[in-house]
Amino acid sequence: MAYSVRGRMLIRVGLSLALQAAVVQVCPREALAQTAASVAQARFERGVTLFDSSDFAGALTEFEAAIGAFNSPNVRLYIARSLVSLGRLGEGYVEMQRTAREAADLAQSSPRYERTRETAVAELAALESRVGRLRLTLARPMEGLSLRVAGREFPTAAIGTAIPVTPGAITVQAQAPGHVALEERVNVVAGQSLDHALVLALASPHASPMGPLGPTAPGEPLREAPAARMSLGPAIAVSAIAGVGVVGFVVGQVVAEGRYGAGQSLAMEGASRAMLDQVVSTGRSAEAASIVSIAVGAAAAVAAVPLFVVALRTRERESVRVGILPTNSGFVVGGTF
């Protein structure tokens, strides 16, 4: 974009006057202020020289250093021009808008900034048909949401607002706690506005601690999912309880039969009633314990069967591979089983 020599001269003069006005006050900070103003003026002059020689990247570096030392709409105007010349139209448009606002505010007390404002407004009008606009929408607010558009951080406060962007394919990335990270590409046309809805799926509560499955970039091979492997330990432990129950039943029955047999022998020998009752009671207790033992063993055996089945089936599937492949329209789940 061509800019008039007279316009550049006026901007330089305006910047110089502004820098001088910033340091005329005599105070303990005078030396520091004068140094900052001198640095800003020198960097700005070098930036203009580089800009005129079409070294827009080098000029942008100088202008950004200058505005870091002394904020001026004239310097910002050249930052916007450098961004536009580098093809970063969306960023250049935003900087040009800021230039017009700041120049308008300063022009109320310093009329020399009125020309800067007019220049910025005119160049904004020329850029209008060259930039596109992207409006991101969200169905509901999300705590901790972070956005990146075209590789740069995007303020969540701007959701729902059409922002100027450089036309073409733009990558939109979104992340929020408890949701699957989203990455999509949208195509924005110059002079047009595109509305794009962000839809973040809830993350699975059983997601691997190693992170989301699937490739991080198109063409990357599927990652292997850690198998949800169930140990045979619980099944073996329950089976052992069943075995103990069977053994307890057998022992209880043997003890009970022995007590009953001893009671019969004592009765034939004419033993007292109290002694017979004691022997029979011991046999009944052993018999009752054996019944409880076999009931516990049977329940444990029933429980062990499904535990073994689940554990063995899980081991058979431990080589499953799944992944999520990003596409232009969403995601495709794939895998081998």
- CB-based contact 135:193 (threshold 8 Å): yes
Going by their DSSP bridges, the two strands 132-138 and 193-198 should be labelled as: parallel
Mean pLDDT of 274-278: 71
Per-residue confidence (pLDDT) for residue 78, from 0 to 100:
97
Per-residue confidence (pLDDT) for residue 328, from 0 to 100:
46
pLDDT-based confidence at residue 26 (cuts at 50, 70, 90): very low
Answer with the residue of higher pLDDT: 157 or 11: 157
Q: Name 286's Cβ contacts closer than 8 Å, sequence gap at least 6.
A: 252, 253, 255, 256, 259
pLDDT-based confidence at residue 250 (cuts at 50, 70, 90): confident
Answer with the residue of higher pLDDT: 238 or 120: 120
Per-residue confidence (pLDDT) for residue 57, from 0 to 100:
96
pLDDT above 70: residue 14: no
Answer with the residue of higher pLDDT: 327 or 61: 61
SS3 151: coil
Mean pLDDT of 273-277: 71
pLDDT above 60: residue 94: yes
In 3D space, the residue among 198, 214, 203 whose CA is nearest the CA of residue 146 turns out to be 198
Per-residue confidence (pLDDT) for residue 263, from 0 to 100:
64
Range from 18-27, 118-127, 255-264, 265-274 carrying the lowest mean pLDDT: 18-27
pLDDT-based confidence at residue 273 (cuts at 50, 70, 90): confident
Dump pLDDT digits (tens) for 284-296.
886 787 687 678 7
Range from 202-211, 237-246, 312-321 carrying the lowest mean pLDDT: 312-321
Q: Name 169's Cβ contacts closer than 8 Å, sequence gap at least 6.
A: 185, 186, 187
Range from 52-66, 138-152, 192-206, 232-246 carrying the lowest mean pLDDT: 232-246
Dump pLDDT digits (tens) for 174-195.
999 999 999 999 999 999 999 9
pLDDT-based confidence at residue 311 (cuts at 50, 70, 90): low
pLDDT above 80: residue 120: yes
- Cβ burial 164-203 (10 Å sphere, 16+ → b, else e): bbbbeebebebbbeebbebebebebeeeeebeeebebeee
User: Is the pTM value of this prediction over 0.75?
Assistant: no
Range from 42-51, 59-68, 116-125, 198-207 carrying the lowest mean pLDDT: 198-207
pLDDT above 60: residue 58: yes
Per-residue confidence (pLDDT) for residue 140, from 0 to 100:
85
Per-residue confidence (pLDDT) for residue 308, from 0 to 100:
64
SS3 26: coil
DSSP letter string over 160-174?
TS-EEE-SEEEEEEE
Answer with the residue of higher pLDDT: 331 or 160: 160
